[in-house]
Amino acid sequence: MANAPKNLDVVHLTQALITRPSVTPVDAGAMDTVQQVLESLGFTCTRLKFGEIENLYARRGTSAPNLCFAGHTDVVPSGVRNLWRYDPFGAEIHDGAVIGRGAVDMKGGVAAWIAAVSRHDDLSGSQKGSLSFLITGDEEGVATDGTIRVVEWLKDQGEIIDHCIVGEPSSSAQLGDMIKVGRRGSVNATFTVTGKQGHVAYPQRALNPLPVLVDLLGALKARMLDDGYDQFPPSNLEITTIDTGNTATNIIPQDARARINIRFNPAHTGAQLCAWFDEVAAQFAAKTGAQIEVKSTISGEAFLTEASTFVDLIANVIKDTLGLDTDRSTTGGTSDARFIRALCPVVEFGLVGQTMHQINECVAVADLEALTDTYSALIEAYFSKFGSSS
């Protein structure tokens, strides 16, 4: 059956989502709201609950190519209520903006893509392929039961996604001024050095773990990781804490810990960096006689969506609709794009991120409408470029 275009209102949809206080991991009915709207637009929805997290995959159409929109319905906590001028979950409109937690990150973006999709009849010439949604309730939290699990499920199902737009607030100062075509990777490591506790006046009877730790950190810090990579700044290693918890003035402590983080470009992989940590720790253990334990976790690998027809298409649509030459950036923290890139080329393009995670988070009504227009033009352009001709 044909689903006639409905032209859903992006502002109402944004408000409906903001009024569900879906602070990670709570869903508060946000995913039901998305599912109901998508079903009314002819999508087949599959709810995927992993742990306590609600996730959703929805698809309309069976033919290739499959253009996916990825986003999240969870939000960060509102913070101190008294500092908000209006109810953070009230979604009130003041001075031309919808105010509330999640307005830009990223309920407004989800609403804009849904509203854009509602303008397209699935049997019209404009959609010669499939549209899909990957929506998670675990982006702002630990992200272990969210997109990463859905991506595994999609692979198991043999579900093919050809290209993906992540609707995170990628714009910097003005809607469309920036899209994200890659991200740096991130790895954390904790080094625990165990020596032998003793009296400071008798150092020969003790083994102080602190100088070992300081020298080890110095050796790590002394390595120049790289001097940048195509479209990326140089990788950087930061020491984030050094602790021993020693409150006495006359004790050489038993152990000491330090934590580091590296933000790295595609010149490295997380596994290579972790192997390097182990190697340096083993050298210092052998040299000093201290025990050194390393615990590393890779939060995300670096990636770059190479310059391609898909990236150009997005940049061209932004130019035509918003009149801007968009900046193809790799800045910012990690996002769920790090998991999706295992499936297909992925680009982040969404609202202006200025108030994300802040008190009085808000989105201009004009931006919501302009983003919906741009997403709609993008759907049109995508299927006329990549769509099957049948």
Stretch that binds Zn ion, among 2-10, 57-65, 160-168, 242-250 (CB under 5 A): 160-168
Smallest CA-to-CA distance from 138 within 150, 129, 126, 130 is with 150
- Cβ of residue 38: shortest distance to Zn ion, in angstroms? 19
Does residue 336 belong to the site contacting Zn ion (CB under 5 A)? no
Task: Give the whole-angstrom CA distance, residue 348 versus residue 68.
Answer: 12
215 is catalytic: no
Residues in contact with Zn ion, shown as a per-residue x/- string from 31 to 60 under the rule CB under 5 A: ------------------------------
Instruction: Pick between residue 27 and residue 168 the one whose CB is nearest to Zn ion.
Output: 168
Q: Which residue is nearest to Zn ion (CB)?
A: 105
Residue 118 and residue 4: Cα distance in Å, rounded? 8
Query: Among residues 174, 45, 17, 26, which one has the least CA distance to residue 109?
Result: 17
- Is 327 among the catalytic positions? no
Residue type, 65: P
Interface with Zn ion includes 105 (CB under 5 A)?
Answer: yes
Q: How far is the CB of 103 from Zn ion (least distance, A)?
A: 11
The site for Zn ion, by CB under 5 A, has a size of: 3
Of 48, 91, 106, 178, the one binding Zn ion (CB under 5 A) is 106
Per annotation, catalytic residue among 138, 139, 145, 380: 139
**Binding of residue 301 to Zn ion (CB under 5 A):** no
Number of H helices, E strands in the chain: 9, 19
Interacting residues with Zn ion between 161 and 200 (CB under 5 A): 168
Name residues whose C-beta falls within 8 Å of residue 258's C-beta, 6 or more positions apart in sequence. Answer: 190, 191, 213, 217, 239, 241, 242, 243
Which pair of tokens denotes residue 213? 């730790």
Minimal distance in Å, beta carbon 365 to Zn ion? 20
Residue 159 lies near Zn ion (rule: CB under 5 A): no
Distance CA 189, CA 213 (A): 13
- Cα–Cα dist 96/104, whole Å: 14
Q: Does residue number 352 form part of the binding site for Zn ion (CB under 5 A)?
A: no
User: Which residue of the set 74, 145, 162, 255 is catalytic?
Assistant: 74
Where do runs of H (alpha helix) occur along the chain?
Answer: 10-18, 30-40, 108-118, 147-157, 209-222, 270-288, 309-322, 337-340, 365-386
Nearer to Zn ion, 38 or 356 (CB): 356
**C-alpha triplet 38, 43, 48: angle, nearest 5°:** 80
At closest approach, how far in Å is the CB of 139 from Zn ion?
5
Give the Cα separation of 163 and 185 in Å (integer): 21
Segment near Zn ion (CB under 5 A); pick from 62-70, 106-114, 149-157, 252-260? 106-114
Q: CB of residue 293 vs Zn ion: minimum separation in angstroms?
A: 34
Which CB, 255 or 348, lies closer to Zn ion? 348
Residue whose CB is less far from Zn ion, 128 or 180: 180
Catalytic machinery residues: 74, 139
Contacts with Zn ion by CB under 5 A lie at 105-106, 168
